[in-house]
């Protein structure tokens, strides 16, 4: 497994593949890898000849400096996991390599970033858009793999690729969960055992709401019931619980025919902010 620290070493690695005409799959990560990341890698291996994983905790997508400072970093363990699963190369740049200067450009994703994560984390998707653009330009993959858990991020990246004509196929991999239903997340490492149990309320709320909707219950009644439940769960602070168009991220007030629809949630368990979502009709 090649560990690459600079853009130049990535370029040289890619040049070695030019004559073989192999397809390249990219799995962008911020490290602290878990089974969800490894599932992305497995999908990349199945759909690409060569797999490159990037590990970079991107500062420009954090609107909370404390969250950035506390983001878990487990590089040695990450590299062992990736080597064991058979990754071809890992791009592990320092901040200066990715951002030799502070970016002057700003990316506005319009209505896609006015709701949910965009509303609660101003500037987040600008940072995501910039770093993903950089990674796509550096690695030039044929395919890039992202997890469905970050549903709004997926919508934003698909729009980025479409609007800027990146020659890459975006492949979305279903959310990986623990047996309990808790969505795998690097931030779970910051949860105590007690908090991990408490955090199950996110997935339970999503599952309950989906069941009620499919039984014919009105969304606003379901949403109100969930919000009331969280008011009686002092260990968890609910940020949002919304029904959305899965592609346009438009907030809905009920089920609609046509595009896929999802329920999205964000909440703080102690100091740790978690997000999750569930598909309603697909």
Give the active site residue among 37, 124, 142, 232: 37
Is 176 one of the annotated binding-site residues?
Answer: yes
Is 167 one of the annotated binding-site residues?
Answer: no
Terminal Cα distance for the chain, rounded: 37
Q: Find all residues with CB under 8 Å of 267, minimum gap 6, and list them.
A: 201, 202, 230, 236, 237, 238, 239, 273, 274
Is 187 one of the annotated binding-site residues?
Answer: yes
What's the sign of the alpha-carbon dihedral 76, 138, 104, 117?
A: negative
Q: How far apart are CA 6 and CA 19, in angstroms?
A: 22
Is 147 one of the annotated binding-site residues?
Answer: yes
Contact assessment for residue 67 and residue 58, using Cβ atoms and an 8 Å cutoff: no
Is 184 one of the annotated binding-site residues?
Answer: yes
Tokens of 228: 């009331």
What's the sign of the alpha-carbon dihedral 59, 38, 2, 47?
A: negative
Is 159 one of the annotated binding-site residues?
Answer: no
Is 209 one of the annotated binding-site residues?
Answer: no
Is 113 one of the annotated binding-site residues?
Answer: no
Is 190 one of the annotated binding-site residues?
Answer: no
Is 149 one of the annotated binding-site residues?
Answer: yes
Is 32 one of the annotated binding-site residues?
Answer: yes
- Taking residue 76's Cβ as centre, other Cβ atoms within 10 Å add up to 8
Percent of the chain as helix, strand, coil, to the nearest 5: 45, 20, 35
Q: Is 37 a catalytic residue?
A: yes
Cα Rg of the chain, angstroms: 19
Is residue 3 exposed (0-12), middle (13-18) or buried (19+ Cβ within 10 Å)? Answer: middle
Sheet with 89-91, side-by-side order of all strands: 2-4, 89-91, 50-55, 24-29, 143-147, 169-173
Q: How far apart are CA 63 and CA 118, in angstroms?
A: 10
Is 127 one of the annotated binding-site residues?
Answer: no
Is 254 one of the annotated binding-site residues?
Answer: no
Is 96 one of the annotated binding-site residues?
Answer: no
Is 21 one of the annotated binding-site residues?
Answer: no
Residue ranges of the annotated binding site for beta-alanine are 61
Residues annotated catalytic, as ranges: 37
Residue ranges of the annotated binding site are 30-37, 61, 147-150, 153, 176, 184-187
Residue ranges of the annotated binding site for ATP are 30-37, 147-150, 176, 184-187
């Amino acid at each position: 497994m090649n560990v690459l620290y600079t853009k130049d070493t990535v370029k040289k690695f890619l040049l070695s593949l030019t004559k073989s005409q192999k397809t390249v799959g990219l799995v962008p990560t911020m490290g602290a890898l878990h089974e969800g990341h490894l599932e992305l890698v497995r999908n990349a291996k199945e759909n690409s000849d060569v797999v490159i994983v990037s590990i970079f905790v991107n500062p420009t997508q954090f609107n909370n400096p404390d969250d950035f400072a506390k983001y878990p970093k487990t590089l040695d363990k990450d590299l062992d996991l990736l080597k064991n699963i058979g990754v071809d190369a890992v791009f592990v740049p320092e901040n200066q390599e990715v951002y030799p200067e502070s970016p002057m450009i700003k990316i506005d994703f319009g209505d896609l970033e006015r709701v949910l994560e965009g509303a609660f984390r101003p500037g987040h998707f600008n940072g995501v858009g910039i770093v993903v653009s950089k990674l796509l330009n550096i690695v030039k993959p044929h395919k890039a793999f992202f997890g469905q858990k970050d549903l709004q991020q997926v919508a934003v990246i698909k729009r980025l690729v479409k609007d800027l004509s990146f020659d890459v196929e975006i492949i979305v991999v279903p959310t990986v969960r623990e047996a309990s239903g808790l969505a795998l997340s690097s931030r779970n490492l910051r949860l105590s055992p007690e908090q991990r149990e408490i955090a199950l309320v996110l997935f339970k709320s999503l599952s309950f709401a989906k069941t009620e909707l499919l039984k014919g219950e009105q969304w606003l009644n379901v949403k109100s019931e969930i919000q009331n439940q969280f008011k009686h769960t002092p260990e968890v602070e609910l940020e949002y619980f919304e029904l959305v168009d899965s592609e346009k991220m438009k907030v809905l007030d009920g089920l609609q025919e046509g595009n896929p629809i999802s329920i999205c949630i964000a909440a703080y368990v102690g100091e740790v902010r978690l997000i999750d979502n569930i598909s309603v009709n697909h």
